[in-house]
């Protein structure tokens, strides 16, 4: 299938329109996470000693492991987009499938991490640091789940022959969203785990 589905018109126009729509959506997401980052900065300035001591209770090994998992998943997305640009739909499905799997690994690691924190009596209501920690990582986890759903939908469409080297706008938009989710984590890691 070398032409876009009926109703998509010019592929370049469809791509630019979808790109603009996604960037608009991502701008609202930036505002959402930006509000949480601002709250973190305000309370960190107000309670510096508490934030320094509480961040040491987080598991940096698991946090770093999850960072490596997400960076690898972003690489898989890049390879998937490159594959469909060359018209290799089956390869796209493999790379996006690998990304979904890595997203599941990320969530499993986060589950193990949260479980350990609960065992040590660390809950969202423990103090403001852990309130922000659970809120920010929980919200990010929801975005990971949404991203996995979007990527899975793209794989289903690809299996139905909807994409080719000439039309693959949803593939690129899904990839862009996944990169955004990864980028948020890249900011969360130093903010929560590393800054003493």
Whether residue 58 has pLDDT greater than 70 = yes
Model confidence at 2, pLDDT cuts 50, 70, 90, reads very low
Give me the pLDDT at residue 9, please. 64
Which string of b and e fits 3-28 if b means at least 16 CB within 10 Å?
ebeeeeeeeeebbeebeeebeeeeee
What percentage of residues in the chain have a pLDDT greater than 90? 89
Decide which of 7 and 187 is more confident.
Answer: 187
Overall residue count recorded for the chain in this entry: 196
Which is nearest to 96 in space by CA: 84, 108, 111? 84
136-183 residue pLDDT tens: 999 999 999 999 999 999 999 999 999 999 999 999 999 999 999 999
Q: What's the mean pLDDT in 89-99? A: 98
């Amino acid at each position: 299938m070398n032409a876009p589905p009926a109703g998509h018109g010019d592929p370049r126009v469809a791509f630019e329109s979808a790109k603009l729509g996604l960037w608009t959506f991502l701008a609202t997401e930036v505002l959402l996470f930006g509000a949480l980052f601002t709250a973190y900065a305000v309370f960190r300035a107000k309670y510096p000693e508490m934030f320094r001591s509480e961040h040491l209770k987080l598991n940096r090994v698991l946090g770093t492991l999850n960072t490596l998992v997400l960076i690898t998943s972003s690489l898989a997305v890049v390879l998937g987009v490159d594959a469909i640009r060359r018209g290799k739909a089956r390869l796209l499905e493999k790379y996006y499938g690998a990304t979904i799997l890595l997203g599941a690994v990320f969530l499993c690691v986060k589950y193990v991490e949260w479980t350990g924190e609960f065992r040590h009596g660390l809950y969202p209501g423990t103090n403001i640091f852990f309130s922000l920690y659970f809120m920010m990582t929980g919200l990010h986890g929801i975005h990971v789940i949404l991203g996995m759903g979007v990527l899975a939908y793209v794989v289903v469409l690809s299996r139905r022959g909807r994409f080719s080297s000439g039309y693959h706008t949803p593939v690129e938009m899904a990839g862009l969203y996944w990169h955004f989710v990864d980028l948020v984590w890249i900011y969360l890691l130093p903010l929560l785990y590393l800054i003493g």
